[in-house]
Structure 1
């Protein structure tokens, strides 16, 4: 059911869930000290006064703190979901009811509803787009080019979204600045590796309750998300196989102690398959044919295209729900393949996504990336821009400070040495 309120335009499942959502939002805030410090500063300085922001993100307890920080900074902000299965309905309700932030997101919304919410985000006529997967920006360029004049810029936090922005740049349609939040060190080193690693396995275990120790787990892709997933699976006693297309990443996986082989060779060996490549149809029909009876397949990449579910459905005589977010495909051969979370992000479909301690840094980058765009309005060239190194280091410094950890500083003699080319052995 969709809730409606005369006080605030929104589309959420049920406003009666707000009290639970607020409780969970407050719990997550205990582990998000960096974003809290940024929010406190925003509240004083109001960097987004008069700025309309449309944010397309996973609607979770952690995202709630980003939205609250933007509003504290004076933004006229709305929030939509970046994935139909990633919304936490109680959080969406609390943001509307307790924090006065318009939210358009319902867990399990169909594609038509999702697309309508993207249009609502653009109806807001944003000056800043905070994107997760680049759907809002892509829709703006394709369907509403007349609104580009309103745009100061966009921030993007996923590998998939950055790949799409790079393709836009190559095609000459990215005519405004885009901040590459994903490649900030305080984002991908931590969010992609530690966040994805832990939350992916969390989603798998919640959906199936299988024991990972002794299982053969096939991880498709050895980028930062794949590294974290492989490391966490290995740490829980799994035998990990990595599949890759990049020879450098493949060597790294080998030297990290994992077997590396093509998916065709891994398919008959794996008990559990996890895709984290950002590409389409990494697991295809011929791979399903070769899998063991009862093999479990899931995805932790941004879009639900990594597993060729149409091919799998064409081979099935029956598809049934066996647990929440767990579907068994009975194949004509007599074997079965189990798919988690409908092939969508398993960590958000079947669990709660990344731990808040990690998202603290990712959303600090989003908030400060948006602030950087506003402060440099009219000065940045169209294209993709990195988060400035000093911003990245400041986020790391604030995180360490909150953890009660201090680091060394260079002595004057060391500073002189690093700035000199005449000193040697």
Structure 2
């Protein structure tokens, strides 16, 4: 007889545990008052004896992999610098203060452990906000391993803090950990290495590491890659194995993802959290025999869902999946408000350019494009929209923006922001027509919205200005500025979306995995969305933090519009 875990969102039970005075409160997430509970979650991870043992045993753990799986060494974690963990813990604490929804879920469910038995492998930007979500998953009972979906977005101090908290993380920016692991082994003895990379302080560290590993090195300058090590280190300090760093090659990125497939005891994952169809693709292509063991997956992005829909259409999707991107409290908030603010932050940090008065071209007027257009306009930019969708184009025009083709816009734009999740949006023929020193930003996904391959193949000269910012001199005699090597500018050149808006997204992620695990077998293989009532509860969890109060339906109103007073307040087809 198979024993099935029973779990439901029992309102009365939650109210008893929370001590809520009003038993009619409709949301499980609604706080009764403002409570400053976030510090206890950060500080509780700092068990001194555990930390000392982790530090003492760290090199032994790294030099003696726990497992050899498919000829790949299974390391307990892989990050840049364990010594950054304290800084990362501070970053996590600050993020917790701005993520009331996630922290509320942690407080409600930590004692119930609804995710006991979940073995969750995640592939998502490793930021402080992601770290808060990871630690919440663990507080709810899940075993967690993590890699980064973007080699330029990892915050290494957070990764270190998570490793110190006991969570396997495979993400980093930099090569110091490689030096520590392999210096005594001299695996590169006999190597004569000629490098062509811009000579930055970070590149210097890598060069010295190659030499420490036994190689002879000669170097010339090309294109730099910068590192931020503090977040990953903080996560390691917290005991969480991290396998991510800023500056990964594609091969290293795949290696990091491989590190998260099997856990320390040799058993495979049974849950997936993905961004951009990275980890899910690897599982379907390389580990298809594990799909029957996975009870569910969640996907964060538009680009990832696009690829998953193609997989499902081809009848090749093998696991149930919840499309977190389509949750209203994700797409209407993270994509819109979050990307709008972080685009400006990324542009400012990368270029220091004055936005006011410039012509800004936003490619795509979906949720992300709307937020970016509004943010650029608020800084005084004259905004142009390019679109393929007549409905979105009409929305842009009615919102007061000029709408034209890219063939027209490329000749007058000074700042370009691609915001679609598609590919080949800003191509060679557009770049050749651009004004001198136009700035090309990607706020969508991946590295193909801007045709970086064409740019690198046809440039006359690449001039590095600072880490993650290069000027490409074109045969036309003009030049374009490319931040982040064409990857997402907000996470590569800044810190990504603000913590508060990411609390919306990650609350959805947590609820998605509670839903998938506690209702195993009830979700068929395919792409699903969270129930509307849970979407509304995520929103409710964030209102008190902002001082927002709601009216309530009267019995007459409830009868008139045929809605329950506690919600859901909109049908599933409502578009907001």
Same fold (TM over 0.5): yes
Which residue among 250, 254, 259 is the counterpart of 1:111?
A: 250
Which residue among 192, 199, 202 is the counterpart of 2:335?
A: 192
**CA deviation string 1:8-33 (max 9, x = no partner):** 81111101111111111111111111
Q: Tell me, yes or no, if the aligned pair for 1:34 and 1:402 is still in contact at 8 Å.
A: no
**CA deviation string 1:160-211 (max 9, x = no partner):** 1111111111000113210010010111110000000100110011000000
Which residue among 379, 387, 391 is the counterpart of 1:244?
A: 387
**Partner of 2:561 in structure 1?**
418
- 1:6 Cα offset (Å): 4.0
1:65 aligns with 2:132: yes
- 1:401 Cα offset (Å): 2.4
**Partner of 1:235 in structure 2?**
378
Over 3 Å counting, the alpha-carbon distance change for 1:99 and 1:41 in structure 2 is farther
1:49 aligns with 2:188: no
Distance in 2 (CA, whole Å) between partners of 1:321 and 1:164 is 34
Distance in 1 (CA, whole Å) between partners of 2:381 and 2:369 is 15
**Partner of 1:14 in structure 2?**
81
Distance in 1 (CA, whole Å) between partners of 2:524 and 2:272 is 17
Which residue among 425, 428, 434 is the counterpart of 1:291?
A: 434
**Partner of 1:383 in structure 2?**
526
- Give the TM-score of the pair, scaled to structure 2: 0.71
Q: Tell me, yes or no, if the aligned pair for 1:14 and 1:93 is still in contact at 8 Å.
A: yes
**Partner of 1:282 in structure 2?**
425
Over 3 Å counting, the alpha-carbon distance change for 1:281 and 1:258 in structure 2 is same
Q: Helix, strand or coil: the match of 1:45?
A: coil
Distance in 2 (CA, whole Å) between partners of 1:81 and 1:269 is 36
Q: Tell me, yes or no, if the aligned pair for 2:110 and 2:139 is still in contact at 8 Å.
A: yes
Q: Tell me, yes or no, if the aligned pair for 1:79 and 1:101 is still in contact at 8 Å.
A: no
Query: Superposed, which structure 2 residues align to 1:12-411 within 5 Å?
Result: 12-97=79-164, 98-124=237-263, 125-411=268-554
Distance in 1 (CA, whole Å) between partners of 2:58 and 2:277 is 28
Q: Tell me, yes or no, if the aligned pair for 1:269 and 1:291 is still in contact at 8 Å.
A: yes
Q: Tell me, yes or no, if the aligned pair for 2:92 and 2:129 is still in contact at 8 Å.
A: yes
Q: Tell me, yes or no, if the aligned pair for 1:242 and 1:253 is still in contact at 8 Å.
A: yes
Q: Helix, strand or coil: the match of 2:333?
A: helix
Q: Give the gaps of 5 or more residues in structure 2.
A: 1-56, 63-75, 165-236, 564-576
Distance in 1 (CA, whole Å) between partners of 2:340 and 2:58 is 37
- 1:7 Cα offset (Å): 5.6
- 1:375 Cα offset (Å): 1.1
**CA deviation string 1:301-339 (max 9, x = no partner):** 121110111211222111021123110011122111110
Alignment size in residue pairs: 418
Q: Helix, strand or coil: the match of 1:229?
A: helix
Q: Tell me, yes or no, if the aligned pair for 1:4 and 1:10 is still in contact at 8 Å.
A: no
**CA deviation string 1:102-160 (max 9, x = no partner):** 21101111111101111122234211101111111111111211010110010011111
- 1:42 Cα offset (Å): 2.6
Q: Tell me, yes or no, if the aligned pair for 2:89 and 2:238 is still in contact at 8 Å.
A: no
- 1:59 Cα offset (Å): 0.6
Q: Tell me, yes or no, if the aligned pair for 2:85 and 2:238 is still in contact at 8 Å.
A: no
- Give the TM-score of the pair, scaled to structure 1: 0.96
- 1:263 Cα offset (Å): 0.6
Greater C-alpha Rg: 2
Distance in 2 (CA, whole Å) between partners of 1:413 and 1:281 is 54
Over 3 Å counting, the alpha-carbon distance change for 1:5 and 1:163 in structure 2 is farther
Q: Tell me, yes or no, if the aligned pair for 1:42 and 1:69 is still in contact at 8 Å.
A: no
Distance in 2 (CA, whole Å) between partners of 1:309 and 1:162 is 23
- 1:402 Cα offset (Å): 2.8
**Partner of 2:3 in structure 1?**
none
Q: Helix, strand or coil: the match of 1:122?
A: coil
Q: Tell me, yes or no, if the aligned pair for 1:81 and 1:87 is still in contact at 8 Å.
A: yes
Q: Where does structure 1 differ by over 6 angstroms across 4 or more consecutive aligned residues?
A: none
Distance in 1 (CA, whole Å) between partners of 2:520 and 2:149 is 26
Distance in 2 (CA, whole Å) between partners of 1:324 and 1:133 is 25
Distance in 2 (CA, whole Å) between partners of 1:359 and 1:348 is 13
Distance in 1 (CA, whole Å) between partners of 2:134 and 2:519 is 21
What's the RMSD between the two structures over aligned residues?
A: 1.4
- 1:99 Cα offset (Å): 2.8
Q: Tell me, yes or no, if the aligned pair for 2:159 and 2:240 is still in contact at 8 Å.
A: no
